[in-house]
């Protein structure tokens, strides 16, 4: 979903999503009820997320995996393709990291329903963090150049926070070639990926080891998840796979492996590490 303000006329953003009178109607899946419970918790805590309104399992499904239609409140702000230019600034990058940290911490006080269903199996994490699962800049809501909210929570699941951090940095660093970074990611010139990783991690407040390996592993896991969703008939992933998205993903991964020195932290060669 994307937009810059409330809407009073019906807007068809795809054959699956409709925005009408401040409400968004989207396909519902077996995990949607669980996601709604999480969203109600986050909304009550003051976070900018879609507020659930209804879940209709009697409505016609739009794809083979859907079980009906969900209705949530439209979240005003910039998102989707228009968000790329906003994440390209240092302050935009920092705001994305701070938002992710705050949302992760807010999930600690949420108890999933006993019958919780997720798009993917949850991963054990002592902190109780629930990850967004798809926290690219297009799924962040931006206002005045700052990331202030998150939409499209379909892939949420309990997992270590580093799972979301690595996913976000894959796109925010980005782990892409210079041409793609300038053409698609909102940069005027090729970005300093090493610096952007450091800025994001500092703003989040974490210093994980082997971060580049972690991001590359998350990229591979993302491709596996895309295959799984497509095989289950979930849209738009099924269409993306048919249109060659996985081949593009492999190209980005190969570039990142070959040029990982651009992302790796500079070793500290001082005698005492200071």
Mean pLDDT across the stretch 73-87?
Answer: 96
Per-residue buried b or exposed e for 77-95, using 16+ beta carbons within 10 Å of the residue's own CB: bbbbebbbbbbbeeebbbb
Judge: domain 80-262, CATH 1.10.510.10. Answer: yes
Higher pLDDT, 195 or 272: 195
pLDDT for 8 equals: 36
Mean pLDDT across the stretch 6-24?
Answer: 69
Mean pLDDT across the stretch 43-67?
Answer: 93
pLDDT tens string 241-260: 999 999 999 999 999 999 99
Domain regions of the chain by residue span? 11-73, 80-262
pLDDT tens string 141-179: 999 999 999 999 999 999 999 999 999 999 999 999 999
pLDDT tens string 89-144: 999 999 999 999 999 999 999 999 999 999 999 997 888 999 999 999 999 999 99
- Residue 199 CA to residue 147 CA, distance in Å, equals 15
Which long-range CB contacts under 8 A does 16-24 form with residues at least 24 apart?
16/62, 16/63, 16/235, 16/236, 19/74, 22/73, 22/74, 23/53, 23/71, 23/72, 23/73, 23/74, 24/50, 24/71, 24/72, 24/73, 24/74
Mean pLDDT of the chain: 92
Q: DSSP secondary-structure letter at 53?
A: E
Higher pLDDT, 10 or 89: 89
pLDDT for 247 equals: 97
Phi, psi (deg, nearest 5) at residue 143 = -135, 130
């Amino acid at each position: 979903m994307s937009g810059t303000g409330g809407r009073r006329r019906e807007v068809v953003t795809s054959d699956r999503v409709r925005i009408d009178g401040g409400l968004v109607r989207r396909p519902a899946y077996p995990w949607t009820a669980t996601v709604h419970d999480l969203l109600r918790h986050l909304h009550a805590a003051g976070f900018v997320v879609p507020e659930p309104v209804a879940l209709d399992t009697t409505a016609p499904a739009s794809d083979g995996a859907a079980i009906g239609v969900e209705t949530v409140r439209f979240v005003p702000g910039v998102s989707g393709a228009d968000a790329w230019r906003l994440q390209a600034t240092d302050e935009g990058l920092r705001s994305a990291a701070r938002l992710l940290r705050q949302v992760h911490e807010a999930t600690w006080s949420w108890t999933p329903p006993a019958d919780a269903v997720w798009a993917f199996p949850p991963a054990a994490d002592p902190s109780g963090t629930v990850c967004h699962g798809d926290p690219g800049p297009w799924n962040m809501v931006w206002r005045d150049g700052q990331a202030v909210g998150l939409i499209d929570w379909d892939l949420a699941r309990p997992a270590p926070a580093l799972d979301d951090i690595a996913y976000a940095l894959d796109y925010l660093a980005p782990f892409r070639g210079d041409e793609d970074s300038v053409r698609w990611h909102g940069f005027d010139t090729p970005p300093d990926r090493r610096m952007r990783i450091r800025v994001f991690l500092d703003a989040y407040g974490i210093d994980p080891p082997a971060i580049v390996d972690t991001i590359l592993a998350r990229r591979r896991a993302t491709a596996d998840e895309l295959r799984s969703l497509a095989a289950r008939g979930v849209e738009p992933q099924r269409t993306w796979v048919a249109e060659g998205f996985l081949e593009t993903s492999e190209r980005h991964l190969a570039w990142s492996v070959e040029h990982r020195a651009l992302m790796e932290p500079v070793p500290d060669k001082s005698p005492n590490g200071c």
